[in-house]
Structure 1
Amino acid sequence: MVSDEPNSYREPYTIAPAASATPVLRYTWTEFLQEVNNLAKGLMMLGVEHGMRVAIWALNYAEWILVQFATAKIGAVMVNINPAYRTFELEYALKQSEVDTLILQGKFKTSDYVGMFYEACPEAFECRPGNIRSEKFPYLRNVVFMGEIIYNGMYRWSEMIEMGKMISDSELKDREDSVEFDDALNIQYTSGTTGYPKGVTLSHHAVLNNGLIIGDGMAFTENDKLCIPVPFYHCFGMVLSNMACVTHGTTMVIPCPAFDPEAVLYAIETEKCTAVHGVPTMFIAELEHPNFSKYDLSTLRTGIMAGSPCPIEKMREVSEKMYMRDIVIVYGQTETAPGVTMSTTSDSLEMRVSTVGRAFPHTEIKIIDPKTGRIVPYGETGEICARGYMTMKGYYNNPQAT
């Protein structure tokens, strides 16, 4: 759940898309809260009730973060849809998670999101906004376009916001008060390497506290600015980045809709970021960019390298050449919201580059022999098991896999 109070008196920029060829959009915390409330009211006016699924199919735009917190505020369940999905994958996600409302962006490079939606749901051409009728998607009623182009069967973003003015502040407050800490907050789809993707259902309690602990591990404060090139649809963006920032009053800087190494370098220099996240290949792309030496990255101090094994020498290089003396590693999986272990800024560099740290607070971990289920002796290899507040509620509509 999102509290109005902790950040309302501070005025750091909250969202700052920063790329040399695009205008910069900035929100103070107060403005951010107002935008979240406006969107929450708009969703309520569309008929989104507590527990209904609201999907977002978009890259890293400011609207994505607004949807993240507006759905949380009204007790809806946000469904993250991978922007790389094609039509058949969109169909699967919409059906499997029983989506009521879909929010989608326009074209990006070769991806035509509106076109793919119409391919999946041609009936939308003949429907009025808010009245989608489809045998394939029996739960789907609303589609919202993140822009001002008029499409058949879709609300425009501004149209939804305007409709929300019919909802009073007291109605919004009543809805917010009905949300419980262990309610479902979010559905994220696993990669599907062992079959169809499974919808990992995470609670408010899991996501909020994971973000809080992550930010604590990096010693985040309201004076920090985190550059976020990792995708929002993934836990790395949504929790380790967005939620870690919001729980500490830290500025979120969105350098580009999709990863662009020079846009990241530009954003770090221009916005004087103190932290940047990335998977190892992102850091390698930044270090090896021909213009790397032209950018001043001296304001950096920390960030997370995660998502795949982190080469020790590359960690050292990032620490030295990008001034990230306090870079850390997080280990986990989507099913644990996602962090389980983490190194922190207080650990030695040797500890941070050669291990994945120690267990999160309020988390239990053991290493077992997968054949016997018994805990292995110290120093032996085994399977890691974890439990705690961060464990998923289950795979949505898939009790057998759960």
Structure 2
Amino acid sequence: MMCSVVQVEWAKMGKIGRIFLGVNKTYRMQNFSTKQSYYHRTSDFPLKPVTLGQLAEIASYKYGDRPAIISCHQKKQVTFGEVLEEADRLAAGFANLGLQRGDKIGLWAPNLVEWYLAYVACARGGFVAVLMNPFYQPQEVEQMIKKVGIKSLICGDTFRKQNYYNILNEVCPEIAHCKPGKISSQKVPSLQHVVMITDDSKKGTFKYSDILDLADEDSIKMVKKNQNKINMDDPCNIQFTSGTTGNPKAPVQSHFNIVNCGYFCGMSVGLHKKHQKICMQNPFFHVFGTVVAISSSINHGSTIVLPSDGYDPEKNLTAIVEEECNVIFGTPTMYVDLVAVQKKRNEKNIKVEIALSGGALCPPALFRDMMDVIKVKKVMSVYGLTEITAAVFFSTENDSEYQELNTVGKLQEHVEVKVVDTDGHIVPYGVPGELHVRGFSTMLGYYKDKTKTNEMIDSNGWVHTGDQFILTEDGYGQVVGRLKDVIIKGGENIYPKEIEEHLLTHPDILIAYVVGLPHERLGEEVCACIKTRDGIQLTVEEIRQYCRDKIFNFGIPSVVEIMDSFPTTVSGKVQKHKIVENLVRNKLQK
């Protein structure tokens, strides 16, 4: 096929040149190419028309005596058969409290066996699980209860510095004067029951075991009988966005979303081939936990291993060795820490075959460290959003080294994507633009927020991800960066991802994030925030010299900050807006 002059010049420019040119200046070229960035991946495997509760029942028949979850810190192990039995008892107990299908149950606790069981129980009872960050403080707990109308709240006892009952007393002062199940609060009027995962009785609350004891034979039979009355398109859970760019929203995901995303995630990782034991570094409340971990493991009979109730790299490595985990789930930050711990301990009995990285972009240098230091046989990536139920692009077992290190994998089955310019026109393959997604994984919408839902999902069903993306003809994707991360310096668009990737090739840089800081003349200036090996200090001039001839002059950082840690969400996503806020605040205080 003949190429136009414009296409030839575009190709000569190179990737970094294309990025720094600014996407607004490249979009017009889409008219010169017949190969546009649209891809629809079909599948030989049909979608499953079942609910999460029905899936748990299927798993109990197929994998009954196999451990579904092992909690190292609790010294507990529960089989798939026991999961179904206890989940049905719990669902029956809630039904006897008066909860009906569609009622909201908040899960506000760290990684515990009881969290897992309660999540499955919500699906079995037709209740909607509302997944809450275990670090939420009183104001956030109150906001979430009121936002979606939580009727029952299942919470932990203590976790790190959290005392859940003390926080509840701030949110609902009446609790200490109410009988269990009879809460009446002015601040959170929807809340009727609080269930605490503890052996100690606390005023106004039920113990977890109390709910199990409320179930009887008839109510358990009713739970089983009602499975066919729960629709696969019914809401299954409400999963708040993690708030990396501001206030969290409340995406609602259906049973159909969660079951099928978990199925194909598990297929991509190879969970269907044999019994796998997964070291779970992520929190359950995040979409990585509920879909990529819980749903995929129930689909394929894999065992989830919980090293601790919260993130702890030392305990993660111990669990990997002692439980002989052959799969690890985590974010890039978690793998940086795991590599550091393994360098110190030099454990010999590591049998990890696959390490899956998601929740943030994983640099190529870290991939190599995971293989060289942790001795992982294969490193895989997953890309997705809460609004599209966790995963849209996923590494495959046949990926080349280039695809492993430079892409977020191949498009998920039964999904279509396109990359568009600011006018909504599809750009050619290889040209950056905003990624739009359409398919079975699309959320039902933001809870009672049509305005935000319509901003996210257009009238044709396309989800606007807000991510700058490059799509290849064979369905692989590469993230350029977030639209909101674009630095505008003197009117020029600068995309941090390319600078970050180059900085990570420096032998002394472990982590790199690039942000825009306010500048009186230019509007914004480029700031590189880096973590170095063994506390090595790098100057601005050293960084600038390393970037010369590799990055456009306008994109070379003018500010360098050496940092020991970065502000993150509990799920491990770095919050760039907080990095900027902290740096600006520190500058003003000087």
Matched residue, 2:485? none
Is the CA contact 2:157–2:164 (under 8 Å) kept in the aligned structure 1? yes
Matched residue, 1:5? 58
Please report how far the alpha carbon of residue 136 of structure 1 lies from its aligned counterpart in structure 2 after TM superposition: 1.9
Matched residue, 1:28? 79
Whole-angstrom CA distance in 2 between matches of 1:137 and 1:262:
39
Please report how far the alpha carbon of residue 349 of structure 1 lies from its aligned counterpart in structure 2 after TM superposition: 2.8
Whole-angstrom CA distance in 2 between matches of 1:244 and 1:342:
13
Paired residue for 2:280, among 228, 232, 237? 228
Whole-angstrom CA distance in 1 between matches of 2:75 and 2:401:
35
- 1:54 aligned to 2:105? yes
Paired residue for 1:258, among 296, 310, 334? 310
In terms of fraction of residues, the more helix-rich structure is 2
Paired residue for 1:17, among 67, 71, 76? 71
Q: How high is the sequence identity, in percent, across the aligned residues?
A: 33
Which structure 1 segments of 5+ residues have no match?
A: none
Paired residue for 2:215, among 144, 148, 164? 164
In structure 2, the CA distance between the partners of 1:251 and 1:138, relative to structure 1 (3 Å rule), is same
Matched residue, 1:270? 322
Matched residue, 1:66? 117
Matched residue, 1:89? 140
Matched residue, 1:379? 430
Aligned 1:99-118 pairs, distance under 5 A: 99-118=150-169
- 1:247 aligned to 2:299? yes
> Amino acid of the residue matched to residue 392 of structure 1?
M
Cα RMSD over matched residues?
Answer: 1.6
- Once the two structures are overlaid, the 10-residue window that deviates more, 376-385 or 193-202, is 193-202
Q: Give the secondary structure class of the aligned counterpart of 1:15.
A: strand
Is the CA contact 1:7–1:249 (under 8 Å) kept in the aligned structure 2? no
- 1:362 aligned to 2:414? yes
Matched residue, 1:396? 447
In structure 2, the CA distance between the partners of 1:389 and 1:340, relative to structure 1 (3 Å rule), is same
Whole-angstrom CA distance in 1 between matches of 2:77 and 2:343:
26
**Superposed CA offset, 1:234-278 (max 9, x none):** 011111111111100011111111111111111111111110111
Paired residue for 1:285, among 337, 347, 351? 337
- 1:321 aligned to 2:376? no
Q: How many residue pairs get matched?
A: 398
Matched residue, 2:456? none
Paired residue for 1:301, among 353, 356, 379? 353
Is the CA contact 2:88–2:224 (under 8 Å) kept in the aligned structure 1? no
- 1:176 aligned to 2:230? no
Please report how far the alpha carbon of residue 108 of structure 1 lies from its aligned counterpart in structure 2 after TM superposition: 1.6
Whole-angstrom CA distance in 1 between matches of 2:350 and 2:386:
33
TM-score, structure 2 as length reference: 0.66
- 1:128 aligned to 2:179? yes
Q: Give the secondary structure class of the aligned counterpart of 1:149.
A: coil
Is the CA contact 2:59–2:80 (under 8 Å) kept in the aligned structure 1? no
Is the CA contact 2:149–2:190 (under 8 Å) kept in the aligned structure 1? yes
Whole-angstrom CA distance in 2 between matches of 1:283 and 1:153:
42
In structure 2, the CA distance between the partners of 1:235 and 1:362, relative to structure 1 (3 Å rule), is same
**Superposed CA offset, 1:179-220 (max 9, x none):** 111000000111345553211100000011111111000111
Paired residue for 2:389, among 333, 337, 358? 337
Whole-angstrom CA distance in 1 between matches of 2:76 and 2:233:
34
Whole-angstrom CA distance in 1 between matches of 2:165 and 2:434:
43
- Once the two structures are overlaid, the 10-residue window that deviates more, 311-320 or 8-17, is 8-17
In structure 2, the CA distance between the partners of 1:333 and 1:259, relative to structure 1 (3 Å rule), is same
In structure 2, the CA distance between the partners of 1:114 and 1:23, relative to structure 1 (3 Å rule), is closer
In structure 2, the CA distance between the partners of 1:293 and 1:181, relative to structure 1 (3 Å rule), is same
In structure 2, the CA distance between the partners of 1:165 and 1:274, relative to structure 1 (3 Å rule), is same
Whole-angstrom CA distance in 1 between matches of 2:138 and 2:398:
46
Whole-angstrom CA distance in 2 between matches of 1:212 and 1:9:
15
Aligned 1:179-198 pairs, distance under 5 A: 179-192=230-243, 195-198=246-249
Matched residue, 1:353? 405
Please report how far the alpha carbon of residue 299 of structure 1 lies from its aligned counterpart in structure 2 after TM superposition: 1.5
Please report how far the alpha carbon of residue 304 of structure 1 lies from its aligned counterpart in structure 2 after TM superposition: 1.1
Whole-angstrom CA distance in 2 between matches of 1:342 and 1:265:
25
TM-score, structure 1 as length reference: 0.95
Q: Give the secondary structure class of the aligned counterpart of 1:78.
A: strand
Please report how far the alpha carbon of residue 352 of structure 1 lies from its aligned counterpart in structure 2 after TM superposition: 1.4
Is the CA contact 2:88–2:125 (under 8 Å) kept in the aligned structure 1? no
Please report how far the alpha carbon of residue 368 of structure 1 lies from its aligned counterpart in structure 2 after TM superposition: 0.4
**Superposed CA offset, 1:335-378 (max 9, x none):** 01111111112212321121011111111100001x21001111
- Once the two structures are overlaid, the 10-residue window that deviates more, 52-61 or 128-137, is 128-137
Whole-angstrom CA distance in 2 between matches of 1:193 and 1:309:
14
> Amino acid of the residue matched to residue 304 of structure 2?
M
In terms of fraction of residues, the more strand-rich structure is 2
Please report how far the alpha carbon of residue 308 of structure 1 lies from its aligned counterpart in structure 2 after TM superposition: 1.2
Whole-angstrom CA distance in 1 between matches of 2:86 and 2:133:
24
